[in-house]
Amino acid sequence: MKHRFSFLLAAFFVFFTGCAGLKGEDAPASAQIFAMDTAAELTAYGPEGQAGVDAARAEINRLEALLSRTRPDSAISALNGAGAGNPVTLDGETFALLALAQDVSEATGGAFDVTVAPVMDAWGWTGGERRVPPPEELAALLPLVGAQDLELNPEASSARLARAGMKADLGGIAKGYAAGRAGEAVRAAGVTCAMLDLGGNITVIGNNPEGIPWRVAVKDPAHPGDYLCVLSLTDCTVSTSGGYERFFEADGVTYHHILDPKTGYPAASGLRSVSVVSENAALADALSTACFVLGAEDALALWRSGGGLDPFELVLCREDGVVTVTEGLEEGLRFLGGDHGYTCETARR
């Protein structure tokens, strides 16, 4: 008898408690904002949802004002405007983000570089008219690129750019950082279920409203409207970079926006897209760009070594149609790319 009631209780627990979620509650609070050079959708569930969305929005706007290169009063504008060799004292937050950017730059052999800004400007990727810069123009700009010449002084919390004409731009990491901080703000407001979509950079808080891990689809870079796979995620960020996001054509050639800091030209590493999953949202953002530049083999080597960075996982879509998913994402993975001829393989350490 005792065993039967235990079984009955367990069954009810599974059915009604384990699956309990917020699905049946009121509509979630949501907001759409334009910040960090993207359209962001913020969604939070539960009684504190509106407070969570408000807190996330305030945090993203605050960070844009602090970190944007196009805001004349931002910390980054102060650094860029200080002139060669002149140190600028920075707030702890901007300094820490620059330090993380340098760590990623070092770990990826320069595949990620916050000083690539002058070359990005020459291509028109920062608001100007898109164009293919002449080779001599790129040759003149490339010496201005080099994260090692962004000198950080932790004691003074200061930074300086070594050469005239250098510029720092946190565009490749700030969106992720803002997503991470906004996620913290949402949690601090008492929200346990939320999703922050910063232009396809997805941060999930807790489980989804049904009480199971969030299901995040990864876009098929070659077939708009279709998906490579669905990841099963809780409390982390997935950031995806690919040449299909922003591009233009000139003389029949397609040029995308992810530049290889070493050549000044769009990265051509054999990858169509890279998705990075990490609890460190800023790292996920920076690594999605870096791994796209590195290519599949070097990206997997970095994943295997860890690079001294926080843990992360990868989805690599190669031009030959192979989708490589690292083993940490295996649980709950649903592969959807078969209809378009993709094959899926799991990378193991």
Partner 1 sequence: MAIPVKPPAAERLRPTPWDALIAALVLGAAVLLALSLRPAPAGPLTAVITLDGQIVAQYELDRLMEPAALPVGGPYPLVVEAEPGRIRIAESACPGGDCLRSGWADRAGDRIICLPNRLVISLTGGEEAVPEFDAVSG
Please, what is the minimum distance in Å from the beta carbon of residue 116 to partner 1? 19
Please, what is the minimum distance in Å from the beta carbon of residue 288 to partner 1? 9
Please, what is the minimum distance in Å from the beta carbon of residue 348 to partner 1? 23
Count of beta carbons in the 10 Å neighbourhood of residue 16? 9
Q: Is 308 in the site for partner 1 (CB under 8 A)?
A: no
Q: Which amino acid is at 205?
A: I
Question: In the range 309-338, which residues lie near partner 1 by CB under 8 A?
Answer: 334
Q: Where are the alpha helices (DSSP H) in the chain?
A: 2-12, 49-67, 75-81, 92-107, 117-123, 135-141, 174-188, 281-294, 296-305
Question: In the range 52-91, which residues lie near partner 1 by CB under 8 A?
Answer: none
Question: In the range 183-202, which residues lie near partner 1 by CB under 8 A?
Answer: 195, 197, 199-202
Count of beta carbons in the 10 Å neighbourhood of residue 327? 12
Q: Is 4 in the site for partner 1 (CB under 8 A)?
A: yes
The encoded tokens of residue 292 equal: 């796209």
CA–CA gap between residue 55 and residue 125 (Å, rounded): 30
Q: Is 16 in the site for partner 1 (CB under 8 A)?
A: yes
Q: Using a CB cutoff of 8 Å and minimum separation of 24, what contacts does 103-106 make? A: 103/308, 103/309, 104/173, 104/283, 104/286, 104/287, 104/290, 104/309, 105/147, 105/148, 106/147
Q: Is 142 in the site for partner 1 (CB under 8 A)?
A: no
In angstroms, what CA-CA distances link 81 with 71, 87, 115, 179, 196? 12, 11, 14, 27, 33
Q: Count the site residues for partner 1 by CB under 8 A.
A: 54
CA–CA gap between residue 239 and residue 199 (Å, rounded): 9
* Contact mark string toward partner 1, 104..133, x via CB under 8 A: -----------------------xxxx---
* Contact mark string toward partner 1, 224..263, x via CB under 8 A: xx-x--xx------xxx-x--xxxx---------------
Nearer residue to partner 1 within complex by CB, 37 or 54? 37
The binder of partner 1 chosen from 208, 269, 324, 326 (CB under 8 A)? 208
Q: Is 301 in the site for partner 1 (CB under 8 A)?
A: no
CA–CA gap between residue 302 and residue 288 (Å, rounded): 12
Residues that bind partner 1 (CB under 8 A): 1, 4, 7-8, 11-12, 15-16, 19, 23-24, 31-34, 37-39, 127-130, 195, 197, 199-202, 204, 208, 210, 214-219, 221, 224-225, 227, 230-231, 238-240, 242, 245-248, 273, 275, 334
